[in-house]
């Protein structure tokens, strides 16, 4: 078992990549702390995990709140006295209601325009409609949330004599992503944060790496129109969306001792959409 006796906190683990990662980590011997904004979702994930000696448990917290994050890590300290692995997975797909529908409509129109072979006279026109609140919310959850969790986890990893942090970025951070500039910007910021922390924390025995998945078949992507999903899949050499378990497997590698000489790195389980 590659994570035997490790204490692992996974944010946004009520569904999708987070839930798959929690299941895999538990199967590899970790005691898993399941975080989600939704306590019922976190409870459901935790209840489905195989038993551990220390006991898996769930905690509801909004990672965009530094107060809630600190309270969550204080609970970890009280229960375990240390933290070995942190997976910063929590995320949102839109900063405000209605954004996904607008992107779907525009993407479908752009695709039809391109496929029609005529002049390019249909445009994305998304950024002018992104509000200050939407921009701020997207960065708060993805980038600030990752920072808040890392900051609060570092003392607990020092208490453990080291640890591994895995930050979830996105292929959109590398490619740019029309229609969701705030999402792509937040995910790109996570890559800079990852490299900075790796340089700072290596002497403490704390490794910090990132994942840049392509589009994953999760609840967060279920609202993407089918035509758009087909277009996304067709752009990758492996012409399909990924299963959450494929990303979880990459997270496991970065969390366990097999990647002991990896830090400040980015792995890309993206089907070849970026090479």
Of the candidates 61, 24, 59, 23, the one whose C-alpha atom is nearest the C-alpha of residue 43 is: 59
- Decide if 255 contacts 166 (C-beta within 8 A): yes
Is residue 219 annotated as part of the catalytic site, yes or no?
no
Round to whole Å and give the CA distance between 266 and 263.
9
Q: How far is CA 56 from CA 9, 51, 86, 252, 262, in A?
A: 10, 7, 15, 17, 27
Q: Which pair of tokens denotes residue 55?
A: 């006991």
Q: In what order do the strands lie in the sheet with 85-88?
A: 57-60, 31-36, 7-10, 85-88, 163-168, 206-211, 266-267
Catalytic residue among 25, 57, 147, 183: 183
For strands 266-267 and 206-211, give the pairing.
parallel
Nearest alpha-carbon partner for 210 in 153, 167, 268 = 167
Query: Could you give the residue numbers annotated as active site?
Result: 183
């Amino acid at each position: 078992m590659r994570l035997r006796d490790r204490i692992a906190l996974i944010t946004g683990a009520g569904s999708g990549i987070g839930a798959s990662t929690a299941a895999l980590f538990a199967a590899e011997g970790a005691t898993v702390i399941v975080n989600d904004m939704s306590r019922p979702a976190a409870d459901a994930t935790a209840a489905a995990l195989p038993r551990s000696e220390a006991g898996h448990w769930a905690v509801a917290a909004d990672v965009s709140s530094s107060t809630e994050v600190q309270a969550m890590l204080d609970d970890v300290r009280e229960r375990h006295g240390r933290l070995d692995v942190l997976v910063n997975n929590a995320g949102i797909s839109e900063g405000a209601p209605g954004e996904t529908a607008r992107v779907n409509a525009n993407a479908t129109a752009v695709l039809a325009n391109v496929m029609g072979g005529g002049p390019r006279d249909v445009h994305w026109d998304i950024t002018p409609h992104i509000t200050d609140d939407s921009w701020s919310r997207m960065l708060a959850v993805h980038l600030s949330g990752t920072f808040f969790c890392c900051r609060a986890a570092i003392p607990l990893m020092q208490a453990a004599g080291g640890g591994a942090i895995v930050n979830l970025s996105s292929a959109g951070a590398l490619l740019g992503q029309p229609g969701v500039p705030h999402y792509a910007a937040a995910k790109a910021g996570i890559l800079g944060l990852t490299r900075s922390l790796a340089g700072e924390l290596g002497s403490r025995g704390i490794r910090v790496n990132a994942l840049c998945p392509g589009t994953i078949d999760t609840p967060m992507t279920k609202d993407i129109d089918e035509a758009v999903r087909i277009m996304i899949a067709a752009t990758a050499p492996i012409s399909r969306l990924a299963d959450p378990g494929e990303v979880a497997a990459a997270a496991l590698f970065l969390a366990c001792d097999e990647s002991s000489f990896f830090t400040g790195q980015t792995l890309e389980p993206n089907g070849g959409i970026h090479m």
